[in-house]
Amino acid sequence: MSLPVRVGTLLVAFLAVVGGAIFVVIHFFLAGPAVIDYTAGAASGPGRQVNVVMQEDAQNTVTNKPDWVSYFIQDPKTKQWVHTTLFRVPAGARVNVTILGYDGCTPLRNTVWGKVTGTIGNTELVDGKRVSVLDAWQTCSVGHTFSIPGIGLNAPMGSPTTVAENNNLCSQSPCTSGPHATMQFSFIAPTTPGSYFWQCRVPCGGGFLTGFGGPMQTIGYMTGQMEVAS
């Protein structure tokens, strides 16, 4: 081949490689679910409060993994349920969390996570009743947990408690009706900005060896991050 042809082929090949690499990085490694922002609005300062509303469903109809359990977070401005597990709160604020538990009960792998820690008062409201310990092996009472290990927060989520309810769970998502339990608790967000991961501790990844695969290890389903913004 003559010199201009060789140079041209090289340039095309180089651009193809660079383009391909950039595409892979952007599409596969940098993409991710949306971050729900609770920092907008009220002025900062002590006494700042934000209300985070979430729900967890037994299945989801919005992704290509329909049988994966999943959390949804409600956008504070549009009140729409968004399929994400990433949210942002202001530093030092009091975060009031409400979670609607539409998923049935599953035993914990380690029952120590049935104890509520890290919330204000170390208790939570489950369907209006104040509880501090849930027994996930004895009673059908724990569906998932909302745990932020970095700040010592562990809040077991209630679930519908009867056999009939557990066999009749809401099958589309985000759920608007169906048997569910309502949890409420509050905690103080840390004062240093950063990102704190949160996870569920109930082994609800069905079809995995310890129940901790699949949705349990995929951001956007049962684990996510709380970003604390200054």
Do 76 and 51 form a contact (C-beta atoms < 8 A)? yes
Does 132 contact another protein by CB under 8 A?
Answer: yes
Spatial strand order in the sheet of 94-101 = 81-82, 70-74, 49-57, 94-101, 181-188, 124-126, 129-131
The interface with another protein within residues 7-26 (CB under 8 A) comprises 7, 10, 21, 24-25
Q: How far is the CB of 79 from another protein (least distance, A)?
A: 27
Q: How far apart are CA 4 and CA 154, in angstroms?
A: 66
Binder among 51, 63, 161, 182 for another protein (CB under 8 A): 161
Tokens at residue 218, please? 């995929």
Name the CA radius of gyration of the chain, rounded.
Answer: 21
Lookup result for tokens 């201009």: 4
Angle at 183 between CA 177 and CA 185, to 5 degrees: 150
Cβ proximity to another protein, 47 vs 152, nearer residue? 152
Hey, is 206 helix, strand or coil?
coil
The yes or no reply on residue 29 touching another protein (CB under 8 A) is yes
To another protein, the closest distance from the beta carbon of 75 in angstroms equals 20
Contact flag: residue 105 with another protein (CB under 8 A): yes
Residue 90 touching another protein (CB under 8 A): no
User: What are the C-alpha distances in Å from 159 to residues 40, 75, 121, 130?
Assistant: 32, 23, 22, 15
* Shortest Å, Cβ 123 to another protein: 12
162 binds another protein (CB under 8 A): yes
Write out the binding residues for another protein, residues 201-230 only, by CB under 8 A: 201, 203, 205-214, 216-219, 223
Chain residues binding another protein by CB under 8 A are 3, 6-7, 10, 21, 24-25, 28-30, 32, 67, 104-112, 114-115, 132-133, 135, 137-140, 149-150, 152, 161-163, 166, 194-195, 197, 199, 201, 203, 205-214, 216-219, 223
